Amino acid sequence: MTPYLNRVLARSGPKDALASQAILFLTMLFIVSPLSLYFNRLSSLLVVFGLIAASWLFILVPDLSIRRVPTPVDLASGVFLGYMSLNCIVSLVLGHPVNNTIAEMVAPLQVYLCFQSAKRIQVSKEIVGALLKWMLIFATARAAWQVFTTLTLIHLPAPIYGPLDKIPLGVIGRFIYERPFDPVSGMMFAVALMLYASGIERRLSLLAAIVTAVVLILGMTRSEWIAGIVAIFIATLYAGELAKAARIFTVIGLVLATDFFFFPDLHQALSDRLIAQTVEQITSSEQITSSGAASPGQVASSGQTTPEKRPVRALRLLEFRTALDEFKTAPLFGHGLGSSFGTEVSYDGKDLIFVQLHNSYLNLLASAGIVGISLLLIVLLKVRQFLLLGLGHTDRDVRALFCIGAGMLAWYGIFMGFQPIYSAYHLPVLIGTAWGLAAQLFRTVEGQPAAMITSEMGLTRA
């Protein structure tokens, strides 16, 4: 055994901690790796939850268990998960679609399990640093592979899509291709820039940011662009590095302007996708439309085939109205997880009914009611409270990890405002683990102010 490995093992604590640590880290690397692109929703779900369960096997054994790190988030997140679990059970008993119901439980369950698991794993700053480095390497490889397959027109089914979903097409000039819609690359783009601003693995972070940015440009996904900008702003705001964020965005703007100058077709494609189509979805106008067959997973609401002029229904506004109407009929506890609320829209020249709201918060409001939304809000307030505690730590690396965790959560939170919750399977694993590791380092790394080690917050030194 090499001296380096001996030092790593010595810093990692008991052997059960090393096993749980390795399995949990393997889960994170699987999610950001190119390998997960070849797994469909069900397969990736089974793999990820199998790995999560394996990481818990060592933690649940009393003689091997590591004392968890209490945080302000524990009680609130446990109550929220309990309510969602009860809602899920009731919904299944009422006959709601099993797939839809279970899908809405995946995200909160993954965050909670991985947060609690990571808090019970003894880690060092060196180990966490190595994990972040390998995440950047795997994410760069994933993005580079997607760029290659996109430009060479190699068909690559992403796990974001089920077997019946239609892969969206992108058009840049005369180049028609399947758009790489990949929330993992979207979040890792923001993470890479946050690490760069924090001075962590700067060269590798910059490389990862560049390659994942190409995926975002080819994907032309508005929600990922908005989420990335907001996440970086929030992370650098709490880190006190807004000046760095301003410089980063200035450089990105200059690079894009240069690309648009040399590739006007790219500018036109992004303008049509990010601006024109957005305006179309939030305003009403008249255009020539003709009804036709709906894309898989959607139901056509009209069988007419003769083109005619009719108003374009604003998708986002109609979905808000749909959620509000459903909320009014069951305001307290909602209609239950897995409920399908149809929204009739004119979209891409067809009259369709979208049965999945493109906003996870509206969906939660209609499905879980005031109780569900209120419990989620309490969790977020407790997370912010814990973040402020972490930012008071005197160790720079610990503070950086808290900021990265806040940025990841902000990215996911913004993204979910534009997408159904099933659209980002397994990103909650990354978020929960990052916060759990931050909690563990907060307790075990020396240097935190004594005022923060209070019995009121339940935080104690190791």
**What's the rounded Cα separation, in Å, for the pair 426 and 416?**
13
**What's residue 393's pLDDT?**
87
Q: 156, 130, 26: which is closest to 426 by C-alpha?
A: 26
User: What is the value of pTM for the model shown?
Assistant: 0.81
Q: pLDDT tens digits for 5-30?
A: 344 434 444 455 677 788 889 999 99
Q: What is the mean pLDDT of residues 116-142?
A: 90
CB atoms within 10 A of CB 103: 20
How would you write 281-308 as a 3-class SS string? HHCCCEEEECCCCCCCCCEECCCCCCCE
Decide: 28 and 433 in contact? Cβ < 8 Å: yes
Q: What is the mean pLDDT of residues 213-218?
A: 90
**What's residue 278's pLDDT?**
62
Of the listed ranges 215-229, 240-254, 263-277, the one predicted with least confidence: 263-277
More confident residue, 220 or 65: 220
**What's the rounded Cα separation, in Å, for the pair 226 and 232?**
10
- Domain spans in the chain, listed from the N-terminal domain onward: 3-269+369-452
Strand partners, 288: 309
Q: 322, 381, 314, 382: which is closest to 355 by C-alpha?
A: 322
Give 347's DSSP letter.
E
Q: What is the mean pLDDT of residues 364-379?
A: 92
**What's the rounded Cα separation, in Å, for the pair 208 and 140?**
5
More confident residue, 271 or 302: 271
Residue 304, amino acid? Q
Give 343's DSSP letter.
E
Q: pLDDT tens digits for 141-198?
A: 999 999 999 889 887 666 665 554 556 778 888 888 888 888 999 999 999 999 988 8
The pairing of beta strand 343-347 with beta strand 350-354: antiparallel
What's the length of the chain? Answer: 462
Q: 71, 75, 69, 82: which is closest to 385 by C-alpha?
A: 71
